[in-house]
Amino acid sequence: MKLSFRWYGADDAVKLQYIRQIPSMDSIVTAIYDVPVGEVWSNESIVKLKAEVENANLKFDVIESVPVHEDIKLGLPTRDKYIENYKENIRRLAKAGVKVICYNFMPVFDWTRTQLDKVLEDGSTALVYYKEQLEKMDPLTGELSLPGWDSSYTKDQLADLFKQYSKVDEEALWSNLEYFLKQIIPVAEQNDIKMAIHPDDPPYNIFGLPRIITNEKNLDRFLKLVDSKYNGLTFCTGSLGSASFNNIVEMVDKYSSQGRIHFMHVRNVKLLEDGSFEESAHYSPCGSLDIVAIMKVLHKNNFDGYLRPDHGRMIWGETGRPGYGLYDRALGAMYIAGIWETLEKTNK
């Protein structure tokens, strides 16, 4: 297991040096953020980012994300141009030594929460998803805003995208995903880069938009679309685990034993009775997921991919990007490293 940490580049309030100070930290997970989705990343910007990371004595091994242009997900004729750009990004990142690329195939919105600063009973704040709040939201009329996505699209752009997606049902999305994979996985193979799709968060349709990377049956189907180890998973415990129909420990066991998990996102969530959820501290008793059991199956299957502590709460007065403060993620990292060390020492 290679412990990693997400870093949003030079503007991130969390400095590389702070991340370096977390014991056993191996790699940085980052991306180029100032290039429009679908365009080719310049070699200069990739080399600069790599140098920044390596100067802090961390590895530049994982990119999260090279985002997929909506035209590819929609299956528009213009997709071929964007797929060519995607292939070029794979080649350029491989040249810089990158080993894993994380991406997702969610239409329009990536992760969805109804509140980013819910004050928990201990005074920390967390991202939450309350069904009751979601039912009152409509991204098109905007009567209530969608936290995290307000500034990503204008209302007109959103209306246009929703109109286009009205013709794309789940099967059409599968076929657009297959078309994309059949072209990019061979390039990933040639360049020895593992592609790792991130599951949909939460793992069901939202606002009438289709979502397909959601459950075990669909993950099986996904892995068979191109049956290559280069076509793999970012297994996000909090995304898949925010629906009670997913048995996370069993799924991690199955896909890690098949060698198809290249990147783990370890996050805990507390499921509420009505299907709502709150992101919680990583420590198992705080949430609904058994993090020790997850780490155990990874260890049993000799998991040697990358793992990052995912979303933390905001604690100790820290402010900044919701989910991505330093303190709670660092606590999560040490909790995970401690479990791993125990497993190493007791199972040899």
The footprint of ligand DNO (CB under 6 A) covers 64-65, 102-104, 110-111, 198, 265, 311, 323
- Residue ranges of alpha helices (H) inside 13-105 are 16-20, 43-55, 70-74, 79-95
Is residue 138 part of the annotated active site? The answer reads no
Nearer to ligand DNO, 101 or 161 (CB): 101
Nearer to ligand DNO, 165 or 235 (CB): 235
Q: How far is the CB of 236 from ligand DNO (least distance, A)?
A: 6
In angstroms, how far is CA 267 from the centroid of its own chain? 11
In angstroms, how far is CA 86 from the centroid of its own chain? 18
Q: How far is the CB of 6 from ligand DNO (least distance, A)?
A: 8
**Cα–Cα distance for residue pair 56/110, rounded to 1 Å:** 30
Is residue 198 part of the annotated active site? The answer reads yes
- Which one of 71, 236, 262, 299 is the catalytic residue? 236
- Which one of 165, 306, 324, 335 is the catalytic residue? 324
Parallel, antiparallel, or unpaired: how do β-strands 231-236 and 194-198 relate?
parallel
Q: CB neighbours (10 Å) of residue 169? A: 11
Q: How far is the CB of 347 from ligand DNO (least distance, A)?
A: 30
Long-range residue pairs from 117-125, CB within 8 A, at least 24 positions apart, any chain: 117/314, 117/322, 118/278, 120/278, 120/313, 124/313, 124/314, 124/315, 124/328, 125/313, 125/314, 125/322
Nearest residue (beta carbon) to ligand DNO: 65
Nearer to ligand DNO, 25 or 68 (CB): 68
Q: How far is the CB of 199 from ligand DNO (least distance, A)?
A: 8
Nearer to ligand DNO, 60 or 299 (CB): 60
Q: How far is the CB of 324 from ligand DNO (least distance, A)?
A: 7
Nearer to ligand DNO, 209 or 299 (CB): 209
Q: CB neighbours (10 Å) of residue 163? A: 10
Is residue 265 part of the annotated active site? The answer reads yes
**Cα–Cα distance for residue pair 314/29, rounded to 1 Å:** 20
Q: What share of the chain is helix, strand, coil (3-state, %, to 5)?
A: 40, 20, 45
- Which one of 198, 262, 282, 299 is the catalytic residue? 198
Q: How far is the CB of 211 from ligand DNO (least distance, A)?
A: 12
Q: Where are the beta strands (DSSP E) in 169-213?
A: 194-198
- 59 φ, ψ to 5°? -95, 145
Nearer to ligand DNO, 102 or 315 (CB): 102
Nearer to ligand DNO, 115 or 257 (CB): 115
Is residue 324 part of the annotated active site? The answer reads yes
- Which one of 69, 265, 282, 299 is the catalytic residue? 265
3-state secondary structure of 231: strand
Is residue 299 part of the annotated active site? The answer reads no
3-state secondary structure of 48: helix
Residue 286 DSSP code? G
Q: Let me know how long the chain is.
A: 348
The letter for the amino acid at 68 is V
Is residue 310 part of the annotated active site? The answer reads yes
**Cα–Cα distance for residue pair 201/100, rounded to 1 Å:** 20
Q: How far is the CB of 226 from ligand DNO (least distance, A)?
A: 18
Residues designated catalytic? 198, 236, 265, 310-311, 324
